[in-house]
Amino acid sequence: MLVGIRVLDINDNDPVLLNLPMNVTISENSPVSSFVAHILASDADSGCNALLTFNITAGNRERAFSINATTGIVTVNRPLDRERIPEYKLTISVKDNPENPRIARRDFDLLLIFLADENDNHPSSLRAPTRQR
């Protein structure tokens, strides 16, 4: 007699962000859709319990950046201006996707993005205009 045993995975492991916290500096003139960072994560579970979803959960002022929910690639989402907002402190989260979403497990950490200044503003005169006689 041959007996087969199949062990099913339960969602008993947390996903783990592997390369955060991270500091990145990009040009304030970075075009929309420019690559910023690739966030890496892993989960020791298997099947749907190991499928991961990435999200920016805080610090994304004016929705300046986006993250691909599947790949973890962060890109520029809109034009940037260092003179208005010189840095961003994004909270990145990753969660697994069990069949029952109420038992999803999460991890989160920071991605700090600093904008490098570019010569994009016209010079201004600090002297008062002179009167002609």
Q: Is 122 contained in some domain? A: no
Q: How many domains does the chain have?
A: 1
Identify the domain containing residue 66 by its residue range: 16-116
DSSP state of 117: P
Here the CATH number for the domain that contains residue 91 is 2.60.40.60
pLDDT exceeds 80 at position 123: no
Q: Is 11 contained in some domain? A: no
pLDDT exceeds 70 at position 131: no
Q: Is 126 contained in some domain? A: no
Q: What is the average pLDDT across 107-125? A: 87
The pTM for the full model equals 0.85
Q: Could you report the per-residue pLDDT of 50-65, keeping only the tens digit for each?
A: 999 999 999 999 999 9
Q: Could you report the per-residue pLDDT of 79-104, keeping only the tens digit for each?
A: 999 999 999 999 999 999 998 899 99
Q: Is 1 contained in some domain? A: no
Which one, of 86, 68, 23, lies nearest residue 77 by Cα?
Answer: 68
Please give the mean pLDDT across all residues of the chain: 93
Q: Cα 12 to chain center, whole Å?
A: 25
Q: Is 22 contained in some domain? A: yes
Q: What is 79-101 written as a DSSP string?
A: ---TTT--EEEEEEEEEE--SSG
Which one, of 93, 82, 26, lies nearest residue 55 by Cα?
Answer: 93
Q: What is the average pLDDT across 13-30? A: 98
Q: Is 127 contained in some domain? A: no
Q: What is the pLDDT of residue 9?
A: 86
Q: Is 8 contained in some domain? A: no
Answer for the pair 119, 28: CB distance below 8 angstroms, yes or no: no
Amino acid in position 86:
P
The whole-angstrom separation of Cα 49 and Cα 126 is: 62
Q: What is the pLDDT of residue 126?
A: 67
Q: Is 53 contained in some domain? A: yes
